[in-house]
Amino acid sequence: MKSLIFIVFIASALPVNAQPVSPLEARVSVRLKGAPLATFLDTISAQTKINFIVAEGLETKTVTAFLQNVTVRDALQNLLQIKGLSYQQIGTSNTYIVTPRSQHSENLITRIYTLDYIPLIP
């Protein structure tokens, strides 16, 4: 059985000088049909410079995804949740590890908000 792999990249629609707060906020488009999980992660990594480490035993997982202009965070959360996987950042690096989700863990979503502040001393 042959699998078809289509990869499409769309650059983020940010202004020239603007940078995303986090690499997970970068926007990508991916079209994969029956591709290995590693191909999906490699596609995202090539576009956003995010590093992924895949736990042993996940080599047989396949992915079919047709995503257009979504954040990396949304793509990872949705697809990995469907596959029973999770991802976690290693320290403060740009590296994430993909592992099987624990049967006893809750589905938690982490959101990062940037806050502005007013200095107290003029």
- CATH number for the domain that contains residue 54: 3.55.50.30
In a domain, 66, yes or no: yes
- Model confidence band, residue 71 (pLDDT cutoffs 50, 70, 90): very high
| Mean pLDDT, range 57-61, rounded to an integer | 85
In a domain, 113, yes or no: no
Give the total number of structural domains in the chain.
1
In a domain, 51, yes or no: yes
**Is it the case that residue 109 has pLDDT exceeding 60?**
yes
Give Dmax over CA atoms of the chain in angstroms: 69
In a domain, 81, yes or no: yes
Render pLDDT for 18-47 as a digit per residue (tens, 0 to 9): 554 688 888 998 898 999 999 999 989 998
Cα(6)–Cα(47) distance, integer angstroms: 15
pLDDT of residue 103: 66
DSSP 80-95: HHHTTEEEEE-TTSSE
Cα(79)–Cα(94) distance, integer angstroms: 20
In a domain, 112, yes or no: no
**Is it the case that residue 94 has pLDDT exceeding 50?**
yes
pLDDT of residue 93: 86
In a domain, 105, yes or no: no
In a domain, 32, yes or no: yes
The residue segments making up the domain with residue 21 are 5-100
